[in-house]
């Protein structure tokens, strides 16, 4: 039996540096490669010298020009193409080249920063070609065409919802300038009662008592309170603005209805995932679910998402059906592009990115990533502040220890890990309760205190001999 040599961390780092210096590893990974510098009006394409008398060519942005580009790349024997994500000008180029059978890599411009002096479009395309040839680039994630279709509808829908919010704000401003304090007695003027009253005002009604008669039975404010709030100054200019805002809101709601139909058709065409059975003894948690927003899709979104995922992601506390829809629209429910949950969390920009120099961590912060899914998970994390659940107790502990910003990010990363596990392995989420978390945390603290006391030659003694909280944690 031979003796195994154990190297220290410093010796391992020195060995790696010596190996890398002797063999830089710059072997050709993609021999049949091309690099494209995407522009607004023209695109510069570079291939390996020797494949054509003119290794760098410029092509226009029209479809006929892109077809010529694809034919030229085929004639050069190119199989793999790399391009940067420049604005949204890369999308038609990517789609057309993908249809022509090329392996197209979309890379982050942050990872292809050029050395000083490389500023021209020609040199940019050649630099991309060189990096891709030696395998120094990583492709960005892009979902399937079916998911991209749903994502387009979902993102456009989000823009319309923001426009609806702006229209409601214009309505509130017009009412306030006329001293119609409807927002004081109603929690939401875009609700049933508020819109009935506003539409009656636009139609010409000015009598507060007749307007208050539109009050819904579910409204907490009394008729007298609504009457007092509707005694104001009727300004013609603000009435015109109010009418325009109502028209804008009606148009936006009509557009949302069209988008919901298109999105429902696109999701219905997606294949169903196998339904994962509950573990023995597992029980579904009963919830009285409320709409997260007035503009939640009208079709059966929750049931459709369960069909596509095979598991109920809304069982995770804080994760609403709108958050699950964002997961589906941004990544789909296939987690195979990420090897593990740590890669998924890092891709979302929710994992700390440590700057290390000289063996010391200089800064601990997350990467600057623009991700709609990460934003949705952060919003979901904030809803756990007053939740009497396991995740709620954990979030409050993280928030107290790290502060609100870092605590929200840490909790969003936790939610991302849970979503990944459920989609990847078909697990079901079971809430263990706030009491379970508090007991585990208390036992952890006691074990830590006991270990510290033992290391310093002391022993912890309970205050009351009848209640011994250390009986399960002493060593």
What are the tens digits of pLDDT across the range 451-469? 888 888 888 887 765 445 4
Q: Pairing relation of β-strands 103-107 and 33-37?
A: unpaired
Q: Is 443 helix (H, G, I), strand (E, B) or coil?
A: helix
CB atoms within 10 A of CB 421: 16
Q: What percent of the chain has pLDDT over 90?
A: 60
Query: What pLDDT is stored for residue 118 in this prediction?
Result: 57
**Is 315 a residue whose pLDDT tops 50?**
yes
User: Which residue in 228, 163, 159, 171 sits closest to 198, CA to CA?
Assistant: 171
**Is 159 a residue whose pLDDT tops 90?**
yes
Lowest mean pLDDT among 156-160, 224-228, 297-301: 297-301
* pTM confidence score: 0.82
Q: pLDDT class for 1, splitting at 50, 70, 90?
A: very low
**Is 473 a residue whose pLDDT tops 60?**
no
Query: What pLDDT is stored for residue 10 in this prediction?
Result: 75
Query: pLDDT tens-digit profile of 48-69?
Result: 998 989 999 999 999 999 999 9
What average pLDDT does the chain have? 86
Query: What pLDDT is stored for residue 413 in this prediction?
Result: 95
Average pLDDT over residues 199-222: 92
Contacts 24+ apart (CB under 8 A), 403-409: 408/378, 408/381, 408/382, 409/350, 409/366, 409/378
Query: What pLDDT is stored for residue 27 in this prediction?
Result: 82
């Amino acid at each position: 039996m031979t003796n195994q040599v154990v190297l220290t961390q410093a010796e391992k780092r020195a060995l790696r540096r010596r190996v890398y210096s002797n063999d830089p590893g710059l072997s050709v990974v993609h021999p049949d490669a091309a690099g494209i510098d995407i522009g607004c009006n023209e695109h510069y394409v570079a291939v390996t010298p020797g494949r054509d008398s003119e290794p760098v060519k410029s092509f226009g942005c029209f479809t006929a020009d892109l077809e010529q580009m694809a034919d030229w790349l085929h004639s050069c024997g190119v199989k793999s193409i790399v391009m940067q994500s420049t604005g949204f000008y890369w999308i038609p180029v990517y789609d057309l080249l993908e249809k022509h059978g090329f392996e197209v890599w979309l890379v982050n411009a942050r990872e292809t920063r050029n050395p000083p002096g490389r500023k021209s479009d020609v040199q940019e395309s050649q630099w991309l070609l060189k990096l891709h040839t030696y395998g120094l680039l990583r492709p960005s994630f892009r979902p399937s065409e079916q998911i991209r279709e749903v994502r387009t509808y979902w993102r456009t829908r989000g823009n319309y919802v923001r426009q609806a919010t702006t229209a409601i704000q214009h309505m509130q401003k017009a009412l306030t300038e006329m001293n119609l304090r409807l927002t004081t007695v109603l929690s939401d003027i875009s609700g049933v009662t508020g819109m009935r009253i506003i539409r009656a005002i636009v139609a010409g009604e000015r009598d507060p008592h007749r307007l208050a008669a539109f009050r819904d039975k579910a409204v907490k404010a009394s008729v007298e309170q609504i009457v007092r709030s509707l005694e104001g100054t009727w300004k013609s200019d603000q009435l015109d603005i109010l009418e325009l805002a109502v028209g804008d809101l009606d148009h936006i709601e009509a557009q949302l209805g069209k988008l919901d139909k298109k999105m429902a058709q696109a999701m219905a065409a997606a294949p169903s995932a196998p339904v994962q059975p509950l573990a023995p003894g597992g029980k579904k948690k009963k919830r009285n679910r409320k709409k997260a927003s007035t503009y939640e899709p009208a079709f059966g979104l929750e049931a459709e998402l369960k069909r596509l995922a095979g598991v109920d992601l809304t069982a995770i506390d804080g994760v609403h059906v709108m958050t699950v829809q964002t997961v589906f629209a941004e990544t789909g429910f296939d987690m195979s592009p990420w090897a593990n949950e740590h890669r998924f969390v890092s891709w979302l920009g929710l994992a700390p990115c440590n700057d290390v120099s000289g063996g010391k961590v200089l800064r601990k912060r997350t990467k600057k990533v623009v991700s709609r899914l990460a934003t949705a998970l952060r919003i979901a994390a904030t809803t756990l502040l007053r939740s009497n659940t396991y995740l709620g107790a954990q979030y409050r502990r993280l928030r107290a220890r790290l502060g609100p910003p870092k605590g929200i990010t840490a909790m969003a990363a936790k939610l991302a890990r849970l979503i990944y596990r459920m989609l990847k392995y078909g697990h079901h989420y079971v809430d263990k309760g706030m009491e379970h978390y508090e007991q585990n945390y208390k036992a952890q603290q006691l074990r830590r205190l006991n270990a510290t006391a033992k290391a310093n030659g002391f022993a912890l003694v309970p205050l009351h001999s009848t209640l011994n909280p250390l009986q399960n944690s002493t060593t």
